[in-house]
Amino acid sequence: MRGQRFKLQCVSRGALPGGVLVVSSIVLLLSTAGALASQDPSSCVVCHRDPDLLVTNKKLYDYFKQWQSSVHQQEDVSCEDCHGGNAELSDKKAAHGEGIGGAAKSSGVNFKNIPKTCGECHDEILQGFRKSAHFEHVAAEEQGDQGPTCVTCHGSINVDVLDVTSIGKSCARCHNEESDNHPENPEKATAILNKFLSIHRFYRYITVRAEPAEAKAFFRDMDQRLEALTVTWHTFDLAKITEETEEVLSRLKAKRDELRKSRSESKSENKE
Ligand code: HEC
Ligand code: HEC
Ligand code: HEC
Ligand code: HEC
Ligand code: HEC
């Protein structure tokens, strides 16, 4: 049931790559805050937060701490949403079921099941990812020789988004001279995310300066483009990603320039 609710939130929420939440989502966030506060934690959390574990099984406790400081915890995405198991049962064996860790083939966090698990909520991204050479690799290879899956790039529990400073290193784990697997990819990806610095800057400028009605129409279109761009990212068609990024950037810049011009005109009118 939890998953269902989040599915709704995921599609209605736009987020700028790099983690800037789009304005319209704040309303949604506030409207769900009450519901979140009243929700009981799952049996998984009740057990796994036990501070005794810090002494008896620190590694296990660290996983809990990671989740506790994650976006997913804040969004009420709990252990069972990714791992499976039964979060209503307080007996360990019963709650864990057939296998709860990455090694169990039935587990949601088993290497091959990860795209599907994350895709329960990030469904449009999964659709893009399915078209990529990366997905083919995940589907084809046995564990050990791993093509990148969602957690390779974003981390598993305390997920992170890549930015201009981190993306090159992330891609270079596999795309480098030694592997001879498209060693130019890290640099290309870095160049694209570099443009996001300006995208964020223009986006903020327009948010602050545009009249509300004007901003609304502009951002309706812009947020759709940005969401589509996140999906395109996951196809890893670098030429198409570059094209869509440049389109977004030029639209934002044109709007910024227009607002700037009308500001300087009204300033000089005031002086006269
Ligand atoms: C090879 C690396 C890679 C893989 C594999 C990958 N992603 Fe991404 N992901 C990115 C990049 C690059 C972006 C766009 C830049 C950014 O925001 O990090 C992104 C953006 C995102 C975002 C948007 C973040 C935001 O707030 O804008 C989400 C959510 C996401 N990915 C989820 C997934 C899921 C789910 C999967 C698996 C189905 C996946 N990713 C697979 C690299 C990857
Ligand atoms: C009664 C307490 C208890 C409950 C309830 C519980 N766990 Fe555990 N869990 C543990 C303990 C203790 C361990 C350490 C390994 C062991 O003793 O089996 C563990 C291990 C794990 C592991 C490590 C993987 C492995 O197989 O080694 C994962 C993942 C996990 N639990 C997830 C969950 C999830 C998801 C839920 C809820 C559906 C859950 N746990 C419910 C106590 C619990
Ligand atoms: C957003 C999805 C997600 C959530 C939420 C999540 N996990 Fe995980 N967890 C994963 C993934 C994916 C892995 C596998 C790591 C890998 O392959 O790098 C993992 C690995 C683990 C492991 C290591 C054992 C193993 O399988 O290798 C433990 C223990 C664990 N998680 C416990 C928890 C607990 C306890 C919670 C809740 C407090 C939780 N996780 C919440 C996705 C999640
Ligand atoms: C039960 C639903 C659910 C599942 C399962 C889930 N997520 Fe999320 N995830 C969310 C929500 C809700 C957000 C916050 C809104 C957004 O950015 O879409 C989020 C945010 C993210 C972000 C953006 C974080 C940021 O800092 O902006 C990434 C990356 C991400 N998830 C990756 C993953 C990965 C990888 C998995 C699988 C291991 C996963 N998610 C599984 C619901 C889910
Ligand atoms: C875990 C290893 C791994 C990581 C990390 C990884 N890739 Fe890949 N990538 C592969 C494999 C394997 C292929 C398939 C190569 C083939 O079949 O020729 C591939 C193929 C590609 C392709 C298609 C081939 C091409 O260049 O035309 C692109 C584009 C690509 N990756 C971009 C990226 C980007 C960008 C990143 C970082 C955000 C990244 N990859 C991270 C393993 C990885």
Tens-place pLDDT, residues 22-66 = 444 433 443 343 334 345 789 999 999 999 999 999 999 999 999
Return the ligand 1 atom nearest residue 21 CA: 26
Which of 137, 170, 188, 236 to mutate to test ligand 5, by most ligand atoms within 8 A of the CB atom? 236
Q: Is residue 243's pLDDT more than 90?
A: yes
| Ligand 3, atom 31: closest residue by C-alpha | 63
Residues 112-171: tens digit of each pLDDT: 899 999 999 999 999 999 999 999 888 776 655 567 999 999 988 777 889 999 999 999
Question: What backbone torsions phi and psi does residue 210 show, to the nearest 5 degrees?
Answer: -75, 150
Q: Please state, as a whole number, how many other Cβ atoms lie within 10 Å of the Cβ of residue 263.
A: 11
Return the ligand 5 atom nearest residue 184 CA: 26
Contact of 84 with 107, CB cutoff 8 Å: yes
Average pLDDT for residues 172-176, to the nearest whole number?
A: 94
Contact of 95 with 89, CB cutoff 8 Å: yes
Separation between Cα atoms, residue 68 and residue 3, nearest integer Å: 18
The owner of tokens 């964020």 is 200
The owner of tokens 């659709």 is 127
102 alpha carbon, closest ligand? 3
Which of 67, 76, 107, 120 to mutate to test ligand 3, by most ligand atoms within 8 A of the CB atom? 67
